[in-house]
Amino acid sequence: MSSITVNKDKCGGDGKCAVVCPLQILKIDRVSRLPVMIEWGEKACIKCGHCVAVCPSGALSLADMPAASCPTLRSDWRVGPERIEPFLKGRRSIRVYKDEAVEKQTIEKLIDIASYAPSGINRQPVCWAVLYDTQKVRQMAELTIEWMRSLVKSASPLAAALHMENIIKAWDEGHDWICRGAPHLILTYSLKDDMTAPQACTIALTYMELAAASYGLGACWAGYVHMAVNMSDDARRLAGLSKRTSCFGAMLIGHSKFDYHRIPLRNKPHATWR
């Protein structure tokens, strides 16, 4: 069975599908003027869907991606610069949260959106672990602190570099600098030996962070948790990760306690043009 099917009545023979194919495994048959796979194309196809997405008439389908099942993209889907600039510059990392849960359906939607983030050769290696229960998030913060205590006790250079003694002191005084009182914690993970996973997980979490802002939610990267899950057996068990996997990012999610009204200044970008 071929990986692609083409509706002859719909196909306009414009060849766009062959041009945009990342691996160039499609060609236009000289006789039929229809797209076909090259000889080794069946095995090489990464099922990215570029060919399906670019076809203006919906004539081409992949075996497991029929054109009829792919939502139609509206012509006005792009966000203009007048909107995207203040959105991206105005986004803040939220570290003060309301004592209010985010609906599970909303988190599921954020994960769905983030799953469309790009990944190397469309491997889509990103897996998600959601600590939805606030007590579980608090427990993860506690385990992260205990991991820090062990590093400080052993005079670890990492503890010194990150001034972990200050974070522990704040915790002991009742201040959570780990999970910041956020109601939910979301982690990305994948197999340790997948070379595409670190970048894919980072990009996916970035998608989630921006999508959360569009839903009126706050988000913040939880770097200490990220490290603890990979270095503490207790934290890893709480996250539900096996030893065959690595955590590649963690993010706090919740309702921001405050609104922000200005865009703070940043250093001028350093760019070298060649």
Q: What is the DSSP string of 61-83?
A: EETTB-GGGSPPPPTT-SPPHHH
Total of domains in the chain: 2
The pLDDT of residue 3: 85
In a domain, 109, yes or no: yes
Domain assignment present for residue 269? The answer is: no
Q: Say whether both 136 and 112 belong to one domain.
A: yes
120 and 17 share a domain? no
Q: Please state the length of the chain.
A: 274
Query: pLDDT value at position 2?
Result: 63
CA distance 239 to 131: 7
> Mind listing the pLDDT tens digit of every residue in the chain (274 residues)?
468 999 999 999 999 999 999 999 999 999 999 999 999 999 999 999 999 999 999 999 999 999 999 999 999 999 999 999 999 999 999 999 999 999 999 999 999 999 999 999 999 999 999 999 999 999 999 999 999 999 999 999 999 999 999 999 999 999 999 999 999 999 999 999 999 999 999 999 999 999 999 999 999 999 999 999 999 999 999 999 999 999 999 999 999 999 999 999 999 999 999 9
Residues 125, 199 within the same domain: yes
Task: Tell me whether residue 272 is in a domain.
Answer: no
Q: What's the pTM value of the predicted model, to 2 decimals?
A: 0.94
User: Does 233 fall in a domain?
Assistant: yes
Q: Flag whether 54 is in a domain.
A: yes
Q: Same domain, yes or no, for 193 and 98?
A: yes
Could you tell me if 45 and 123 lie in one domain?
A: no
Query: Do the domain assignments include residue 273?
Result: no
Dihedral pair phi/psi, residue 27, rounded to 5°: -140, 160
In a domain, 259, yes or no: no
CATH number at residue 45: 3.30.70.20
Residue 155 zone, left/alpha/beta (φ > 0; ψ -120 to 50; rest): left
Domain boundary among 16, 38, 69: 69
CA 176 and chain centroid, separation: 25
Q: What's the confidence (pLDDT) of residue 203? A: 98
> What is residue 228's predicted lDDT score, i.e. its pLDDT?
98
Find the domain containing 243 and state its range.
84-254
List the CATH number of the domain containing 99.
Answer: 3.40.109.10
Same domain, 145 and 9: no
